[in-house]
Amino acid sequence: MSVMKAGHHGHALHLKQQLEQHLDSEDESCKVQANLNSAFQRRCPAYLDDIVQPLLNHCRDGLIVMDKSGELVWYSVHLASVFALSSDVTFEHILSSLPTPIEKFVRDYSVSVRQADGVGVRNFDLRTPSSAYNLVKGLGGSGNVRVCRFPLTVEGELYGSGFIVSDETQTIANRRDIELAMQVFSEGNQAIIITDNQHVITFVNRAFSDISGYQSAEVIGQHVSVFFDSDEKSYFGRQQLKHLARDHYWEGEIHSMSKERVRYLQWVNISAYPKHADKPSNYIVVFQDITESRRREKRIEKLAYYDTLTGCGNRLAMRKFSSQLIQNSQSKGTPSRFALLFIDIDGFKLINDTYGHDAGDKILKYLTRRINGITRRSDRLFRIGGDEFILFLIDAETSLTQSKAQQVIDVINRPFQLDRNAIATSISIGIVNYPEDGQELNSLLKHADAAMYKAKAVGKGTFEYCDTELLNKFSREFRIKKQLYTALQNQELQLHFMPQVSMSTGEVVSVEALIRWTNKEFGSLSPADSFLSPSAAE
């Protein structure tokens, strides 16, 4: 859609040159068109009029040329696209098809040009004021348009007026995005540092100053490690930069030192810019102070995994620890060994009843200190409830396990001094070994518990292993307990009556009812025999 009225071709070159003076200086395509036209003017002047219009039509802005009488001379194809005009609009109706503010702006300026014709060009305002509009662009939706106006002259004489119509919708949107990003950059609560490719700081935001205490003037021009803790500087140079060179990205924890010499922990993201360039021009460092959040995490973890009375790990912590221990062992070709000691205080209920629960709590705390005082750094002690403790001895052979168990017994045998009372107590220990006595925690605990009760049965204050006899006993009790659930349903229980006879009269005076269980695997069982034992009765 490009029309030039007959009779105006001779002025095309002059008009084009003046239009180009008002086009966006950053529009590289228009600069190219100007160079091309200059070449054509030198070599092919006869075809110049046919070249001018196609070149201008390739300019991204809409162009309008009016003569001094106010008549439309020419417009570029992009004028229609700026306002999403229909292709059916004729040359005569192109101006009236424009949005009303734009049409008025063009016609009013054309009138001013016509009125200035009599006073000469020198007296006419040759400046290029423009007007911006926020309007609906036909069928194309809402947008932003800027119209630049200027007079056109040919050989020093006023010819008419020119208009450049620019669709600035995307430009304004981009500018708003940049302004928003800059606001987030400046006002966000995450500290941001920009460095050059040598990691020298070129810019910091307000949050950086709030967190570190350093003002921008104090750090710009310094290496980014200037605000790291001195213990971290060598690590930063060796580790982070190595990752940046390979992956163009690094994130992790780094300790920093504030201007007031307060050490704090920060979570840092460092990325290269451009992202995948072989030689980045800049690096962007984003970090936040996580000191307080890490303290909260540790407090929560302590409440969840540690016994508040003794300070050692609780049952949940023991399960987590043992799970990692077993998993790491099973991932190796040769499983690692460890011993599990089930520790129970003998007669602890009597201590609570005699001296009170406060005294009992103190004994639990003193007992924990004594055991931790004789164990290795790799060993771990847990309180799993009441007066029961679990001690893991890592990579312990039989001799070391026995020696350590006896040490624990001996150190607890020394009386506990509570106020004026010297309270003597003892402990019983059941010992199992991984993986010989169990492949998972529950079976290890069960067997260790049985060994501990065996130690109590033989006299307390000693330790016992879970041996084959104990394992067989537990296996039998487990099978009996499992089959007892279906004994009634399978009609395996029989009721027997035993009469009680008077010795003097010989008469039956009462009957004792007895139950018997006839099982396919175990034969005839009496309650006393096994199936009403404490474990089965559970």
pLDDT single digits (tens) 174-232: 888 888 887 777 777 889 999 998 889 999 999 999 988 999 899 999 988 777 665 55
Considering the domain boundaries, does residue 22 fall inside one? no
SS3 527: helix
The CA distance from 476 to 232, in Å, is 60
Provide the 10 A C-beta neighbour count for residue 368.
18
Residue 3 scores a pLDDT above 50: no
Considering the domain boundaries, does residue 536 fall inside one? no
Task: Clarify whether residues 211 and 357 are in a common domain.
Answer: no
pLDDT in tens, 433-442: 999 888 899 9
Task: Clarify whether residues 348 and 451 are in a common domain.
Answer: yes
Considering the domain boundaries, does residue 453 fall inside one? yes
Task: Clarify whether residues 505 and 373 are in a common domain.
Answer: no
| Measured CA distances, 365 to 311, 384, 387 (Å) | 8, 14, 11
Phi then psi for residue 196, to 5 deg, are -85, -170
Task: Clarify whether residues 261 and 318 are in a common domain.
Answer: no
Task: Clarify whether residues 198 and 150 are in a common domain.
Answer: no
Task: Clarify whether residues 449 and 496 are in a common domain.
Answer: no
Considering the domain boundaries, does residue 302 fall inside one? no
Considering the domain boundaries, does residue 25 fall inside one? no
Task: Clarify whether residues 322 and 412 are in a common domain.
Answer: yes
CATH number of residue 282's parent domain: 3.30.450.20
The CA distance from 538 to 476, in Å, is 15
Residue 480 scores a pLDDT above 90: no
Considering the domain boundaries, does residue 16 fall inside one? no
Give residue 212's domain range: 188-294
pLDDT in tens, 23-77: 544 444 344 334 333 333 333 344 445 656 666 667 778 889 888 888 998 888 8
| Residue given tokens 């199992």 in the structure block | 432
DSSP 8-state symbol, 236: I
Q: What is the largest CA-CA distance in the chain?
A: 158
Dihedral of the alpha carbons of 475, 480, 485, 486, in degrees to the nearest 10: 120
Task: Clarify whether residues 402 and 364 are in a common domain.
Answer: yes
Task: Clarify whether residues 327 and 460 are in a common domain.
Answer: yes
Considering the domain boundaries, does residue 511 fall inside one? yes
Task: Clarify whether residues 366 and 322 are in a common domain.
Answer: yes
CA 523-528-533 angle, 5° bins: 95
pTM for the model stands at: 0.52
Domain count, the chain: 4
Does the N-terminal peptide bond of residue 499 adopt cis geometry, omega within 30 degrees of 0?
A: no
Task: Clarify whether residues 379 and 315 are in a common domain.
Answer: yes
CA 432-435-437 angle, 5° bins: 40
Per-residue confidence at 20, pLDDT binned at 50, 70, 90?
low
The CA distance from 73 to 54, in Å, is 15
